[in-house]
Each structure stands twice: as structure tokens, then as C-alpha cells.
Homo-oligomer: A and B are copies of this chain.
Amino acid sequence: MNEKSKKSSETSIDYSLLPELLGYQLRLTQLAVFKDFSESVDDAQITPSLFAVLVVINANKDLKQTELAKAVRLDRSSVVSVIDKLEKRNLVIRKRVEGDRRTNALELTKQGRALLSQLTRRVKVHEQRLTENLTEREQATLIKLLGKILPDAR
């Protein structure tokens, strides 16, 4: 039927069409990257997603929760629990906003900024590990090509 399929045995598995699928390769890569990220920041108990939250809060003065939700593609209610968690860890505070008592202004605490700074250094090392088999040019190509996949869905 399919000349690319290999016969299965006790030791080797036939993945059939999966290896040809971009979606599958993307998922495998992601899994490996996620694992390496976690190991890179291990004791900090931070996921890529939480790292992004810290970066975005840090870069946007008095960010509102709804803005954060949009930026990191979470529901407003999910942001509540994310911020609850970070606030309990003394990394983020919700500040009162003058002029609109419905909204909170998010801000990193001193501890949050210190952690972010440490994480940023570790993430850069992690990124170097990701790209150690790629030339500068290949890295640029890769980012460019990724950006061409479903550009309207971002």
C-alpha cells in the first residue's frame, strides 16, 4: 500500500505518515523544547506561559487583566487564577486604578522583577541550546518560515 511504511517488530514502530506531517514534527519539537525549558528554570516553577505573563506585565506599565488575557490568549477567568497564583508568590501585585474602580493595574513586585531578570538569563541559555545546531542564518530562516504558517490565525 504505502512503500514508506516499515514492517513493525518487537523493537521498531511504524509511524506511517506521521513523520511527513508538519503538524506532527512541530508537536515533537515543542515537546522537546518545553521539557528543556522546564529543566532550564527548574527550581523556579515557571512554565513558558508564566514566563510570557511576567515578560508582558513587566513591559507594559499598569497592564489591565483583560489586556493581559488578550496578549497571552487566555480567557479573562483564566487570567484571574494565573494572577492569583503569581500574587500568592509575591511576584505580581494588583494595584488600584484611579478613575476606574473596575480595573486592576498589574505590576511586578521587586521580587518579580528579580525573578524575571534571572529567568531571562536562563531562557537565553536555553535558547542557545535550542539553536546550537543551527547557523545564524538558519535560525532566521526558521523563524521566518514559522511565521508563514497560518499567519491569519495570530
Contacts and interface: CB of A to CB of B under 8 A. Distances in A.
A56 to B, nearest CB: 7
Max chain B C-beta neighbours (<10 A), residue from A22, A35, A126, A138: A22
A58 interface: yes
Taken together, the copies of this chain in the complex come to 2
A25 B146 contact: yes
Q: Is the interface of A mostly helix, strand, loop or mixed?
A: helix
Contact of A55 (B17, B58, B145, B154): B17
A107 B24 CA distance: 22
B17 A142 contact: no
Contact residues on A (Cβ < 8 Å of other chain), bracket: 35 or more
A113 B61 CA distance: 54
A115 to B, nearest CB: 15
